[in-house]
Amino acid sequence: MLSVIVITRNESAHIAKCLQSVTWADEIVVLDSGSDDDTVAICRQFTDRVYSTDWPGFGPQKQRALQKAGQEWVLSLDADEQVSEALRAEIETVMRTGAYPAYQIPRLSSYCGRQIKHGGWWPDYVVRLFRAEAGRFSDDVVHERVIVDGELGRLNNPILHESYVNLEEVLAKVNSYSTLGAQKLRERGESSSPAAAVGKAFWAFVRTYFLRLAILDGPQGFMLAVSNAEITYYKYLKLWLSGRE
């Protein structure tokens, strides 16, 4: 009844916990894009449906994984996410009742050891559970979404998301997300400047820390606001530099 789909690249630090949390599913499909660590070997301990391919961006890659799913329902997870027993029970219930073709699930993310309840990170509803025939992924290279034909239901128990385990992951994702974000802005025909990059980064910090109350999440809330500002700063700076080439 349920296919779990996951895309990976160098996710050896997370993938075992992710896949262990969904061993109850009827099928697990993993699409890897050139891992040079032991991600693929770990995945094969949980499923024989492991495929290797190139990297076209998040949306297209998840759509490829979806096309390999063979069950009526699909649960899309990121490699750093896990399904709790409470969420499993809720998923199994709604698949039996089938009241909606797709469901939003809240996502509870952690940042350097602390679960974040503010800063725009909670409840962070995402469409992850859907009938295979009713959903498809957008072609966005980053911040992809599931496009659903029909109304959405909503679950109560969250996906557990280990977003940033340590500062090394923070810095790596600042670089990766800012590059992808700049690419998306460039494709939309937008432009930038160093002054614009600074201004937008400052606003990202203020919005996250004060308006969205990350200040209530302690030191990690401050760190989150800073990293959001960094992603924004480098995204617009990279966009400006690409226009000068």
Kindly report, residue by residue over 125-171, the tens digit of the pLDDT: 999 999 999 999 999 888 899 999 899 999 999 999 999 999 999 99
pLDDT at 2 over 90: yes
pTM for this prediction: 0.93
Calpha distance 207→214 (Å, rounded): 9
Residue ranges per domain, the chain? 2-163, 166-242
Q: Is the pLDDT of residue 122 over 80?
A: yes
H-helix or E-strand spanning residue 196: helix 194-206
Q: Is the pLDDT of residue 20 over 90?
A: yes
Q: Say what percent of the chain tops pLDDT 90.
A: 96
pLDDT for the residue numbered 230: 98
Mean pLDDT score of the chain: 97
DSSP 56-109: --HHHHHHHHHHH--SSEEEEEETTEEE-HHHHHHHHHHHHH--SSEEEE-EEE
pLDDT of residue 149: 87
| Distance from C-alpha of 177 to C-alpha of 231, rounded to nearest angstrom | 7
For 191-224, write each residue's pLDDT tens digit: 999 999 999 999 999 999 999 999 999 999 999 9
Q: Domain 2-163 is of which CATH architecture?
A: Alpha-Beta Complex (3.90)
